[in-house]
Amino acid sequence: MIQRITDLRDYFKQYDKSIQEPEKFWAKIAKTFTWQKKWDKVLKYNLHQAEVNWFVGGKLNITENCIDRHAADTPDKVALLFEPNNPNDAPTKITYFELYEQVNQLANVLKAQGVQKGDRVCIYLPMISQLPISVLACARIGAIHSVVFAGFSASALRSRIEDAACKIVITADGGKRGDKVIDLKNIVDNAVNDVSCVECVLVVKHTQTKVAMDELRDKWLEPLIDRAAKTCEPEMMDAEDPLFILYTSGSTGKPKGMVHTCGGYMVYAAYSFQQVFQYEENDIYWCSADVGWITGHSYIIYGPLLNGATSLLFEGVPSFPDYGRFWQVIEKYGVNQFYTAPTAIRVLAKQPSELVEKYDLSSLKVIGTVGEPINEEAWHWYDKHVGKGKCPIVDTWFQTETGGIMISPIPYSTPTKPTFATWPLPGVQLVLMDPEGNEIQGKSVDGNLCISFPWPSMARTIWGDHQRYIDTYFSAYPGYYFTGDGSLRDQEGYYRITGRVDDVIIVSGHNLGTAPIEDAINEHPLVIESAVVGVPHDIKGNALYGFVTINDHSQDKEQLTNELNAYISERVGPIAKVDYIQFTNGLPKTRSGKIMRRILRKVATGDLNQLGDTSTLLNPECVEDIIKGKL
């Protein structure tokens, strides 16, 4: 068992140990797991080359630690709970023993389809039991899972499938979101049409939607599972073998397939889950994220299961059948730890307070947020109406790239403070950098957030492009990992994440690169070029504001706006819709031809007095035009 931090003094003690003797610190935690062979060396690294190896020479299978251990010790304990989209439908429970059997069955099905260690399997599923089971079945046989959020469009799915050359796609006939059914199989058909790497599409029957089945390629999953054996030997994996690929947005159009490996990821996901949520035996833990994001990987599946916890998955949305749905689910299961996104809190805080007051939320011990900054108002609402002033709020900061939570209060130990993620977890060495690449010392300062020492769950590379990994994360400040976020460090040494300092915009907690959205807009025949920037938004945190240069101003602007959003929906997904579009004759450029987003961001937010020096632009006159166009 991982030892929990007990109080503030213990946190400082553990933190110091983790800095003084990192290898010893992590080895002690790693020893609490089942390894098929112990590691020869804890850590080998060179951050300049972005080379990091943890538990070198160790052999393991993460599913033995997530499932087999608990299936032997506590077979009847519920591992996963599923709350369906519609509260009138029956929920499901899967015990650790049942999980063992179901994962093995699917693992055997995948093997029978020819999947081998190292092959990539794309998972495009709604939040139903087959999603975590598919993830774990891949891990069981050493196949690399690539989960794609089921809100992405066919072409976004296609580029991810092609990038990783996935052999199999696991999907469902459809997914339910409130009163809507999403035709997932149909989207997959469009995505894999003519994609030669995909040999087979396995389909879960869920919504009973009528779908087209390609006789040679598509197979219903259930009959194959029914015939499969319930045991499957775990594949022996090297600690540094890839466990999964998860795509995240970048500042160029192509998404980055972040690669996480077996040993270090396991140790850190388990450790951080235990510390941040202070999970106790028999607690019911609920993270409302989708498994399609890193939060779902680490804190719905791996972190909780590694700790033998009961993790709840919810298929639906916070607004269906009404805006009390989250609170109703907490009451129904007696949820003890609840983890969600600030956006959800902002939406729910706008509803009549009876919707939350009418449910009994007294089971809650820890409430958390992730994915974007939480503003002060939302923080206080969450504290008062959900935590009833007695549950610590863990404002957790991390990234797809970091694999696990890096900054968070330890509940009941670290005093919380609205809008601050507070201190780093043990093992995490944060630094703030100035633009010249000097470390900023002291308190009450802000800068670019970097990490100066490896931690076990850091991504090891970008799939198929290690140079891009070095360029994106390790070259701005050589020898450091650069997060892409700005941060403030206050008088107490608490960290507040102030937001992205690059071209990534966080909208409703979704990490959206501007490039793929602009690429989609630019495909419209009337568009010459475009730039998308973020502007503050009450509910979503950021809204998207697009500046679009077109070659024909006689077109109906409303219709054109709708057409552009349809292009984005089709090419990226509905989550990336642009809220405001301003049509322009040109965009401000540097002399080397780069669009000056800094200026556009200021225009979009109405910050016109702070435009800075525009005289060095290639086309300063267009800034005036754009300002006029906005007014």
Nearest approach, Cβ of residue 342 and ligand WTA (Å) = 8
| Shorter beta-carbon distance to ligand WTA: residue 110 or 287 | 287
The token duo for 442 is 């002291």
Report the DSSP beta bridge partners of residue 407: 397, 424
Nearest approach, Cβ of residue 249 and ligand WTA (Å) = 8
| Shorter beta-carbon distance to ligand WTA: residue 373 or 411 | 373
Q: Where are the alpha helices (DSSP H) in 382-445?
A: none
Residue 575 and residue 512 in contact, taking contact as beta carbons nearer than 8 Å: yes
Nearest approach, Cβ of residue 578 and ligand WTA (Å) = 19
Start-to-end Cα distance in the chain: 61
The per-residue DSSP string of 201-235 comes to EEEE--S-------TTTEEEHHHHHHTS-S--PPP
| Shorter beta-carbon distance to ligand WTA: residue 472 or 511 | 511
Q: Which residues bind ligand WTA (CB under 6 A)?
A: 248, 293-295, 370-373, 395-400, 421, 483-485, 497, 500, 506, 511
Nearest approach, Cβ of residue 495 and ligand WTA (Å) = 9
Q: How far apart are CA 303 and CA 71, in angstroms?
A: 16
| Count of residues in the chain | 631
Axis crossing angle, helix 184-192 with helix 154-164, rounded to the nearest 10: 50
| Shorter beta-carbon distance to ligand WTA: residue 148 or 198 | 148
Nearest approach, Cβ of residue 393 and ligand WTA (Å) = 11
| Shorter beta-carbon distance to ligand WTA: residue 67 or 421 | 421
| Rg, Å, the chain Cα set | 24
Q: Exposed, middle or buried by CB within 10 Å (0-12, 13-18, 19+), for 569?
A: middle
| Shorter beta-carbon distance to ligand WTA: residue 108 or 483 | 483
| Shorter beta-carbon distance to ligand WTA: residue 395 or 519 | 395
Nearest approach, Cβ of residue 506 and ligand WTA (Å) = 5
| Shorter beta-carbon distance to ligand WTA: residue 87 or 499 | 499
Nearest approach, Cβ of residue 497 and ligand WTA (Å) = 4
| Shorter beta-carbon distance to ligand WTA: residue 307 or 422 | 422
| Shorter beta-carbon distance to ligand WTA: residue 204 or 432 | 432
CA angle 352, 357, 362 (to 5 degrees): 150
Nearest approach, Cβ of residue 275 and ligand WTA (Å) = 16
Under DSSP, is residue 177 helix (H, G, I), strand (E, B) or coil?
strand
Residue 599 and residue 554 in contact, taking contact as beta carbons nearer than 8 Å: no
Nearest approach, Cβ of residue 341 and ligand WTA (Å) = 9
Parallel/antiparallel/unpaired status of strands 168-172 and 120-124 = parallel
Place of tokens 């507070």: 422
Nearest approach, Cβ of residue 248 and ligand WTA (Å) = 5
The per-residue DSSP string of 56-100 comes to ET-EE-HHIIIIIHHHHH-TTSEEEEEE-SSTTSPPEEEEHHHHH
The token duo for 617 is 């632009």
Q: How far apart are CA 133 and CA 517, in angstroms?
A: 32
Nearest approach, Cβ of residue 314 and ligand WTA (Å) = 18
Place of tokens 């608490």: 494
Q: How far are the Cα atoms of 127, 154, 175, 435, 495 from residue 289, in angstroms, in the given order?
A: 10, 22, 16, 34, 24
| Shorter beta-carbon distance to ligand WTA: residue 173 or 372 | 372
Q: How far are the Cα atoms of 105, 109, 172, 225, 262 from residue 228, in angstroms, in the given order?
A: 5, 6, 19, 5, 26
| Shorter beta-carbon distance to ligand WTA: residue 459 or 581 | 459
Nearest approach, Cβ of residue 399 and ligand WTA (Å) = 4
Parallel/antiparallel/unpaired status of strands 541-550 and 527-537 = antiparallel
